[in-house]
Amino acid sequence: MPSPFAIYKSPNSEPREFRVDPARDRYNTTNGTTTGPSAYVLQAGQVDRDKPSEPKCNEQGEFTELSILRMALTGLQDDINEYLTQQMEVAKNKKLKQDDEQRISGEINKLLDGGDDDDDDDDDQGSSSKKA
Amino acid sequence: MVNLNSVPPKNGQCYLALGLEGSANKLGVGIIKHPFLSKHENSDLSHYCEMEILSNIRDTYVTPPGEGFLPRDTARHHRNWVVRLVRRALQEANVSDPSQLDTICFTKGPGMGAPLHSVVILARTLSIMWDVPLVGVNHCVGHIEMGREITKAENPVVLYVSGGNTQVIAYSENCYRIFGETLDIAIGNCLDRFARTLKIPNEPSPGFNIEQLAKKSLNKQDLVELPYTVKGMDLSMSGILGYVDSLAKDLFNKNTKNKILFDPKTGEQLVTVEDICYSLQENLFAMLVEITERAMAHVNSNQVLIVGGVGCNVRLQEMMATMCRDRSNGQVHATDERFCIDNGVMIAQAGLLQFRMGNVVKDLSETVVTQKFRTDEVYVAWRE
């Protein structure tokens, strides 16, 4: 049976391919590391009764084809989830950096000339209202 | 007249449908049978399909007291249980060859995105595996059609009350039209969230536990005064929830400055948690009865059908029955928890009616689920 694989494509990044590596533990279980219950509900006292069923073996003690597929997909799902979480971190950091740069340049502009103009405007408005 | 036999059944004798529901924390799988009868060829009998329930399996994702259900964890529950539930449903229905099913019906919306997605993935997989056509069903229409079939109410005003929806509906020209609805939170959501404040168990359901507490109130003649917010045909419940939440917190903190809860002179407690639960129910249900009665007057109907999870509340049924009795021998139709609470059978029933009118999914792109899907967006081809 051919192994499943996945390709992630996005306009902002190079395509990323995910392949099954049977030597790694994550491809030999149906209990994924990123597909468990939320930490929040466990802290609230939730007992996890929604675990996926264990992989099944045939009479020879080998995993059934469907179980092998389920384990491969569990590992792939973990890989994809970790990659996407990492991408989200990158995007978040990029945005924070942009926001910082924008803030700093705004503050510099205000100090150099923009702030003076604003103050002048305020003063003008203040004086005109006083005149009225 | 409507021809419900426009698509003949696979076996020539009866239709078989599998329904999959998972729009919130209940995961339901049901299998139903409709006999293929000539009386359905040229009639208006969509409420009289002679439906037989072959299996109705449900599993609920329950969280600890004080907690709601998060989309991610609810979706995980559905994902990891749905195959087991389908197996049980097939076994109980004695369906050994699933390719004999005429259709597989799934909830298309409205509901929580992630749980809906978990279930539709299985629906697509089964459809491809067994070569059985899919039908996407509006969850609210599922409740209505199930209620009509079980109670045989022909053309009632429908009060749809659940954790996610509060609507007063009446049928007109191939559409279930919404006469009134909540402007903010649903009634079930209001009750569930108050149950979280009280930290009472979510098992079997928070609303049921509030109903039991309300029954124990010893001060039923002295209602705690709460906001009453009917706005034309609509109603609002978020303010009431905020108010009862603050009352409950004052009660727990023994805030004797609160004159509603404590005697200002002696500090004696005047109101219990049970009294607040009772007053909350009376207040909310009175609002529902008022807008339902107004809708009945609009459409000149004397029948009410209560559907949705909150519809199994006996006190709501009693209050609605009192109103109906006062209106020229009106009737209230309601069902018990097997059919009121979300289930797979209701999706199978509405889906099978759609299927019998030739409305099936032609391409998998049509199976995308949606969180927003209003009751009045569905073309009701199976009614005259």
B48 pLDDT higher than 50: yes
Percent of chain B clearing pLDDT 70 (strictly above): 100
| Residue B3 touches chain A, beta carbons under 8 Å | no
Q: What are the backbone dihedrals phi and psi of residue A12, each rounded to the nearest 5 degrees, phi first?
A: -95, -5
Q: Which residue(s) pair with B231 in the sheet?
A: B234
> Which of B63, B72, B76 should we substitute to test contact with A (largest number of A Cβ atoms within 10 Å)?
B76
Whole-number pLDDT of residue A117 = 54
| Chain B residues near residue A40 by CB distance under 8 angstroms | 70
Entry pTM: 0.88
Which residues in chain B touch residue A52, judged by CB atoms under 8 angstroms apart?
Answer: 79-80
Q: What is the mean pLDDT of residues B215-237?
A: 95
Cβ of B381 under 8 Å from any chain A Cβ?
Answer: no
The pLDDT of residue A14 is above 50: yes
By three-state DSSP, how is residue A89 classified? helix
Would you say B164 is a known binding-site residue?
A: yes
Model pLDDT, residue B327: 85
Q: Which two tokens stand for residue B256?
A: 């004797």
HSE-up of residue A2 (Cα within 13 Å, Cβ side)? 3
DSSP state of A113: I
Rounded Cα–Cα distance for residues B316 and B83 (Å): 36
For β-strands B157-161 and B303-307, DSSP reports them as: parallel
Residues from chain B that touch A37, judged by Cβ atoms under 8 A, are 73, 76
pLDDT at A114: 62
* CATH number of the B14-148+341-377 domain: 3.30.420.40
- Could you state, in order of their start, the residue ranges of all structural domains in chain B? 14-148+341-377, 155-339
Sign of the dihedral through C-alpha B58, A45, B65, B181 = negative
A128 pLDDT higher than 60 = no
Instruction: Say which range, A40-44, B20-24, B347-351, has the weakest mean pLDDT.
Output: A40-44
In what side-by-side order are the strands of the sheet with B26-35? B52-60, B26-35, B14-21, B103-109, B134-138
Complex ipTM = 0.74
B63 in A contact zone (CB under 8 Å): yes
CB atoms A46 and B67 under 8 Å: yes
CB of B22 closer than 8 Å to CB of B304:
no
Nearest to A38 among B61, B66, B72 (CB): B72
Tell me the pLDDT band of B329, cut-offs 50, 70 and 90: confident
For an interface test with B, the pick among A34, A41, A66, A69 (most B C-beta atoms closer than 10 Å) comes out as A41
Tokens found for residue B20 = 């999959």
Confidence at residue B173, expressed as pLDDT on a 0 to 100 scale: 94
Question: CA dihedral defined by A75, A77, A80, A85, rounded to 10 degrees?
Answer: -110
Does the beta-carbon distance from B66 to A44 stay under 8 Å? yes
* B268, pLDDT greater than 80: yes
Q: What is the pLDDT of residues B359-384, one digit of tens each?
A: 999 999 999 999 999 999 999 999 99
Q: Which of A11-20, B126-135, B184-193 has the lowest mean pLDDT?
A: A11-20
* pLDDT tens track for A39-89: 999 998 888 999 999 999 999 999 999 999 999 999 999 999 999 999 999
pLDDT band at A118 (very low <50, low <70, confident <90, very high): low
- Contact assessment for residue B249 and residue B316, using Cβ atoms and an 8 Å cutoff: no
| Mean pLDDT across B29-40 | 97
DSSP state, residue B43: B
Q: Regarding the domain with residue range B155-339, which homologous superfamily does it belong to in the CATH classification?
A: ATPase, nucleotide binding domain (3.30.420.40)
Which residue does chain A place closest to B202, by CA atoms? A46
Q: Is A53 on the interface with B (CB under 8 A)?
A: yes
The answer, for A112 touching chain B at a CB cutoff of 8 Å, is: no
Tokens 């949606």 -> residue: B370
The reported pLDDT for the residue numbered A12 is 81
Quickly state the pLDDT bin for A131 (edges 50, 70, 90): very low
Tokens of B70: 């998060």
Domain B14-148+341-377 shares a fold with domain B155-339: yes
